[in-house]
Amino acid sequence: MPVDATEFAAALGQYAAGVCLLTVRDDIDDVGTTVSSVMSVSAAPPLVAVGLSAEGYPAEVLGDVGSCALTVLAAPHGIVASRFSSAGRPSARHLLESVPWSRASGSGGIVLDDGLAALDCRLERLVEAGDHVLALLAVEDVPVLNPDARPLLRLRGRYVDESGSPLTRP
């Protein structure tokens, strides 16, 4: 018997996940998307995997460009996460007008200076996985590391802090 899609989504929503911003710089613009399906794959060599919608523009651009930056978002980035998860969003730079950022040296992707961490990555391969693709990324640099920052988490369909409390507006 097939699993009910609503029950499946509700079950996975019980799992608190870190929230990241994936950005790709191509010749035309900067593309970004919020992702919470991120996992460490290997320490030697350093690899991470990121789940992206197979039909989404970020996966298409990443496949063409072959590199990206991934910022692990801090609790104050709840608004940034919301902006980058909405449909029809403008250029990544326009969504970050009041947020300090810089470019990763290898990929040229945008990294948030006050994120928990940022990874500068090269695409190893895209793996089809149902309605998503898994982007297997080789980590080439860690341009941001703020171990004292508080994490942004996604739990039960909402952005929360490390205690599970809903975020408040700054």
In a domain, 122, yes or no: yes
In this structure, are residues 152 and 75 in contact, taking their beta carbons and an 8 Å threshold?
yes
Residue 20 bridge partners (DSSP): 35, 72
List, for residues 37-95, the tens digit of each pLDDT value: 999 999 999 999 999 999 989 999 999 999 999 999 999 999 999 999 987 776 788 88
The number of C-alpha atoms within 13 Å of 86 and in the hemisphere containing its C-beta is: 11
pTM of the predicted model, to two decimals? 0.93
Omega prior to 90 cis, within 30 of 0: no
Residue 137 structural domain: 5-155
Burial class (CB in 10 A: 0-12, 13-18, 19+), 92: buried
Q: What pLDDT score does 109 carry? A: 97
Q: For 55, which DSSP code? A: T
In a domain, 163, yes or no: no
Spell out the residues 6+ positions from residue 161 whose beta carbon is closer than 8 angstroms to its own: 75, 150, 151, 152, 153, 167
In a domain, 10, yes or no: yes
What is the number of structural domains in the chain?
1
| CATH number of the structural domain spanning residue 80 | 2.30.110.10
List, for residues 62-75, the tens digit of each pLDDT value: 999 999 999 999 99
In a domain, 165, yes or no: no
In a domain, 170, yes or no: no
Alpha carbons 48 and 119: distance in angstroms, whole number: 10
Alpha carbons 130 and 137: distance in angstroms, whole number: 19
